[in-house]
Amino acid sequence: MSATSTTSSISLQQLDPQELKAWIKQQALQLGFADCVIARPDAQAELPRFKEYLKRGYHGDMKFLEENLEKRADPTLLVPGTKSIICVRMNYLVETPKPRYVPDEPNLAIIARYARGRDYHKIMRGRLKTLATIIKDKVGEFESRPFADSAPVFEKSLAENAGMGWTGKHTLLIHKKSGSFFVLGELFTSLDLPFDEPATSHCGSCTACIDICPTQAIVEPYMLDARKCIAYLTIEYKGIIPEDLRRGIGNRVFGCDDCQLICPWNSFAKTASITDFNPRHGLDQMSLLDLWHWDEQTFLSCTEGSPLRRTGYQSFMRNIAIGLGNAPYSSEIIQALTQHRTSHDEVVQVHIDWAIAEQLNKKSSL
């Protein structure tokens, strides 16, 4: 061990744990994180609810959620030697939406707000690594590993147990002074830090998120059926979307923000402190027809470094076809759908045929 690291190790022992925790939180805020809490490496309390979720099949095709349950419940099995977990969040709104208002813009391609800019996973991990380096410069070497939705981690449960907010009835984390438009990240560490305490829940009798869900995916408070959820259907699911859910999807082509937009706590939502979440390629104002004319190369070019890559080109076109079917009648839409009928795989073609039929039905009722 070098003289420098010996000195650092001694300084770690001499540091007051509460003072070190406060200093770490200060460094996190300076890096652009909106909040930072210290969590126990223990998520056992989440396991019964999660097992019931899996038992009901609400996870759909996301079979990876069935794996590593022990590691999810006990983070020390995922990263041995973990003594404390630094949980952080990043706000991703570019502008605060009107409270309790879901816009109705049927020809616009709606992309979830978190996905309009750069892929947050890379931003989050990069800044967590920087935070680890800053801490090491002060206290010396320790074990650390950053995560951003990238491993079997009950990240909401960990953050909730350390007071970052409470789980809303839509299953997302809500912060009393910041709403829910944020993403989470964790730094598993071997540091012996004092833990923060849980926050209290403040949803009360409100059912706004349950009532607004276009496909009624929130089947009961705190329980979401992903097989009906627009975020799952338009991002994770690669097959033919059930016909009885297509109209509910509307013009949402990647994810859905409706349950958050209607939540009264998001009247306190904060905007992002970094520019990485700013929309790229006009993805906040793109029409369905504009996107429908993208070929695969355009898709790959315009989604480089973007969360949109996750869905893949054909599934993205499937989603847009549904949006076009749900749009007000337009001869231009029918023409565009007909022209591209054979340009896509069989799954997309099923949705094109449905969209054309929907448009023709609207024409006949004019």
Has residue 104 got a pLDDT over 60? Answer: yes
For residue 7, the model assigns a pLDDT of 38
Is there a domain that residue 187 lies in?
yes
Q: How far apart are CA 363 and CA 17, in angstroms?
A: 69
For residue 5, the model assigns a pLDDT of 39
For residue 1, the model assigns a pLDDT of 32
Catalytic residue among 74, 149, 276, 290: 149
* Band (38; pLDDT cuts 50, 70, 90): very high
Has residue 181 got a pLDDT over 90? Answer: yes
CB atoms within 10 A of CB 1: 9
Q: How far apart are CA 125 and CA 159, in angstroms?
A: 16
240-289 pLDDT, tens digit per residue, is 999 999 999 999 999 999 999 999 999 999 999 999 999 999 999 999 99
For residue 11, the model assigns a pLDDT of 57
Is there a domain that residue 6 lies in?
no
Reply yes or no on whether 353 is catalytic: no
For residue 240, the model assigns a pLDDT of 98
57: amino acid identity, one letter: G
128-141 pLDDT, tens digit per residue, is 999 999 999 999 99
Has residue 10 got a pLDDT over 60? Answer: no
Is there a domain that residue 3 lies in?
no
Has residue 206 got a pLDDT over 90? Answer: yes
Annotated binding site for cob(II)alamin: 72, 149, 167, 173, 184, 256-257
Is there a domain that residue 4 lies in?
no
Give the residue-averaged pLDDT of 211-231. 98
Has residue 343 got a pLDDT over 90? Answer: no
Arithmetic mean of pLDDT over the chain: 94
Is there a domain that residue 364 lies in?
no
For residue 37, the model assigns a pLDDT of 98
Annotated binding site for [4Fe-4S] cluster: 203, 206, 209, 213, 229, 256, 259, 263
Q: How far apart are CA 159 and CA 25, in angstroms?
A: 14
For residue 237, the model assigns a pLDDT of 98
* Band (303; pLDDT cuts 50, 70, 90): very high
Q: What percentage of the chain reaches a pLDDT higher than 70?
A: 96
Is there a domain that residue 172 lies in?
yes
Is there a domain that residue 91 lies in?
yes
What is the separation, in whole angstroms, between the first and last Cα of the chain? Answer: 81
Most confident of the following: 5-14, 97-106, 210-219 = 210-219
For residue 341, the model assigns a pLDDT of 77
* Band (176; pLDDT cuts 50, 70, 90): very high
Say if CB 182 and CB 92 are below 8 A apart: yes
For residue 8, the model assigns a pLDDT of 43
Task: Report the number of distinct structural domains present in the chain.
Answer: 1
Q: How far apart are CA 324 and CA 250, in angstroms?
A: 9
For residue 214, the model assigns a pLDDT of 98
For residue 246, the model assigns a pLDDT of 98
Q: How far apart are CA 119 and CA 133, in angstroms?
A: 22
* Band (150; pLDDT cuts 50, 70, 90): confident
Q: How far apart are CA 164 and CA 247, in angstroms?
A: 36
Annotated binding site: 72, 149, 167, 173, 184, 203, 206, 209, 213, 229, 238, 256-257, 259, 263
Tell me which residue range forms the domain holding 176: 15-359
Q: What is the DSSP letter of 175?
A: B
Is there a domain that residue 2 lies in?
no
Residue in 194, 242, 174, 197 with CA at minimum distance from that of residue 84: 194
Task: Give Cα separations from 364 to 21, 87, 238, 260 (angstroms).
Answer: 66, 55, 32, 36
Range name among 12-21, 48-57, 298-307 with the lowest pLDDT average: 12-21
For residue 13, the model assigns a pLDDT of 62
For residue 9, the model assigns a pLDDT of 45
